[in-house]
Amino acid sequence: MNKQEIQEEPRLSLDESGQNKKCYICAKSFNFRKKHICRFCQNAVCSEHCQKSRPLENLESQPICDLCFQEEIRAELRAESQNHIKNLDEEFKDMQNTNSRLEREHFEKTAQINRLEFEIETASSTSNTEIEALNTELDVLKSQNSTLQELYRKTKEKLFIIKESEGNASENLSRVQEELEVLRRQSEILKETKEGLIVQLDKINGKLKGCLNIEHVNKLLCPTCSFKLKEAAGRRIDAPSILENPSICMSVDDERESIIQSVRDMKDELTKQSSRPGEGGGCWII
């Protein structure tokens, strides 16, 4: 028997089922069927419509007819449906709250994204400007680097030339120092020679002071000897200036010695003549 047949069959009350002794569901008599009492509705039903059992309150599983079983199932389904609907409502509310929160977060994130895009665009523009400035500065530095490298190369070449010149200068300085040392020694030798000649000249001049007057001597000499005497006297007067020049000092030594010797001979002859005043006044210097 299906559910539609069960629902269409008339349900008898407890008194009627008791009087008629028929099944509460199918209205069949219990002559050849076993009688069962449903613990949920307390009605008598046949074994065909009382094959299930369910717990009742705090009791263990109790016999239940098909109709009560269906009602219990419906009640459970309604409770489950209500619980499910309640859960769905709660989930829906949670979803609404979540959706509102997500929409709010979406709005905030969108605003943040827009702000970040603006900041990125601004930073990109600033970065491009800075990159252009850095590229310009880099070009300037490259140009300066090239200039400095060229200057370094030229300076290195000049330094090499200066080092070579310094080496040559050192050699020239050493050579000049050697020449100066030679000249210093020659100067000392010439100075000593000059001092010796000055001493000798002073001695000669001292001796010549004791001689006769040159005017008196000229009267006693012939014109040739008188000219030579004047020439010798002029050389004696110029002798100090000659001695000041070392380059010509040595060239007049022989001539000076000859002059000195002539003066000495003349002095001796004049001395002899003065000791014989009666003799004739011839030329005493041959």
CATH at residue 33: 3.30.40.10
The residue with greater pLDDT, 277 or 203, is 203
- Over 60: is that where the pLDDT of 112 sits? yes
Q: What is the mean pLDDT of the chain?
A: 75
**94 falls within a domain:** no
Last residue of a domain, one of 25, 46, 64: 64
Q: How many separate domains does the chain show?
A: 2
Q: Given this model, what pLDDT does residue 55 score? A: 79
- Over 80: is that where the pLDDT of 262 sits? no
Q: Which residues 6+ apart lie within 8 Å of 136 measured at CB?
A: none
**177 falls within a domain:** no
How many angstroms separate the CA atoms of 246 and 191, rounded? Answer: 8
Whole-Å CA distances, 46 to 12, 20, 22, 40, 92 = 13, 13, 8, 15, 47
- Over 50: is that where the pLDDT of 187 sits? yes
**39 falls within a domain:** yes
**264 falls within a domain:** yes
The residue with greater pLDDT, 45 or 119, is 119
Last residue of a domain, one of 39, 64, 89: 64
User: What are the phi and psi torsion angles at 61 (to 5°)?
Assistant: -60, 130
- Over 50: is that where the pLDDT of 125 sits? yes
**60 falls within a domain:** yes
- Over 50: is that where the pLDDT of 13 sits? no
Residue indicated by tokens 């489950």: 80
Report for 5-14, 50-59, 269-278: range of highest mean pLDDT: 50-59
**79 falls within a domain:** no
Q: Given this model, what pLDDT does residue 141 score? A: 92
Pick the closest to residue 19 from 41, 44, 38, 36 (CA basis).
44
**152 falls within a domain:** no
The parent domain of residue 19 ranges over 3-64
Residue indicated by tokens 């060239």: 251
- Over 70: is that where the pLDDT of 47 sits? yes
Q: Model-level pTM?
A: 0.33
- Over 50: is that where the pLDDT of 243 sits? no
**161 falls within a domain:** no
- Over 90: is that where the pLDDT of 114 sits? yes
- Over 60: is that where the pLDDT of 280 sits? no
Convert 133-154 to b/e letters by CB count within 10 Å (16 or more is b): eeeeeeeeeeeeeeeeeeeeee
